Structure 1
Amino acid sequence: MLGGDGHDRLRGGAGRDVLRGNAGRDRLTGGGGNDVLGGGLGSDRLGGGRGRDVLQGRAGNDRLNGGAGNDLLQGQQNHDRLRGHQGRDQLAGGLGNDRLWGNGGRDLLNGGQGSDFLRGGNAADRLVGRAGNDVLVGGAGDDLLTGGMGRDRFVCGQRGRGDRITDFQVGQDLLDLRGLSAKRVPISDRKARVNLVQVGSNTQVEVDLNGKSAGGFKTIATLENVAANSLNDRSFLF
């Protein structure tokens, strides 16, 4: 099913559909089945629906929503927004400053070029920033984070056993602890303590939010191949 040069609305049925928007600001919805949706030129909106779908934004500032199923979302050019929703999804921003949300399922998020924002979701996700100054938020679950080139910011949470960060660059990247308080009180305003533990070649970052060391420390991140004594206050955001 092909759109024209105008602003088209294309909707698939219960089977496997192929929808191409071509020029214009188009809205494509796959429906049931394993669908393939291509936005084309213009800033398009693509919704996969049920099934294992492939969504490609192509040119323009596109919005891609995978829906249910294990979907593949590719923003490609310009500044795109990709949401995986349910299932084990793969999201690739491509060129531009993109925003990627994995949501449910064990997802793979790849920012590509540009300064991107990546958020995992509720499961154990894999986030890769690639080039640019990226922000990586693992979310719930024990996530694996790789910033890539650029000055990256890794946002830590309290759930699970903590995230693993594969390429933290001391003096360049930042570990963001500001969102650790459930009561939205900045960690800098609490009696919190941060403990750095060397475990082999890695550093475990532990936080005690109430300042009581007895049973209070929790590992929030593991920095691979980073020496604990190389970190300082400038490595963190409190």
Structure 2
Amino acid sequence: MSDAAWGTRARFAVYYAPSRESAWWQAGSAWLGRDAQSGEHCVSPQPPGLTRPLAALTDAPRRYGWHGTLVAPFRLADNVTHDDLLAASRAWALTQHPFALPVEAATLGDFVALRPADAHGDACMREVAASALQSLDALRAQPSAADLARRLAAPLSERQRMLLLQWGYPYVFDEFRFHMTLSSSLADADERATLLAWWRQRTPRLGPLAIDQAALFVEPAPGEPFVLWQRLPFRGGEPRDDRNDSSATR
């Protein structure tokens, strides 16, 4: 799909996504069964001990693609174009410096996810996300009354409610916790334990995440899979225009 065909209902997000050439991108995309940049189906592994196909346990994160959220999905404000968003996002990315992030697999509530392995990495990712949010906030539309009511109906602290009203999302700044989701919400503790064990064996082999870029993802219409639209190299990386790359998804 051409970006020109995206209507006003499209949502955009700034995510961390490992470089397409990295083992982390290949491993995460295979796990979810979808490459969010090419749109291609990937063959997922089947961890031993599961009584259901892995695909049945990863349907929620599969729609969003292999990523860690920096700026949660938003619609563009009136008179803001796709090119405006791309230019602002690229300018922000060039203010960031690459670093390595050690990660570990963990359970977050009923989910399995990767998260920073120590407090320092958690703080570094919080700084990156806060910088992106502040840089791009003027480009986002305010949440609709229905979206706001839905979020306010969730169990939120007073601090989270304040952040939601000001920034359109409750889990930002001091409430932000970087993670890369590996499963849907799983009520079965044995399933969570099986996925966790599989990733705890493999995470050390993959090593730290290279936080050297972000990416603009887009949900073309409500409920559709998110696709990786443009990669955003951090300072020291080579800028590229994925619109001239035949492997980029529209």
> TM-score of the superposition, structure 2-length normalised?
0.25
Task: Specify the structure having the higher radius of gyration (Cα).
Answer: 1
**Greater RCO between the two (CA within 8 Å, min separation 6)?**
2
* TM-score normalized with structure 1 length: 0.26
Between Structure 1 and Structure 2, the one with more strand by share is 1
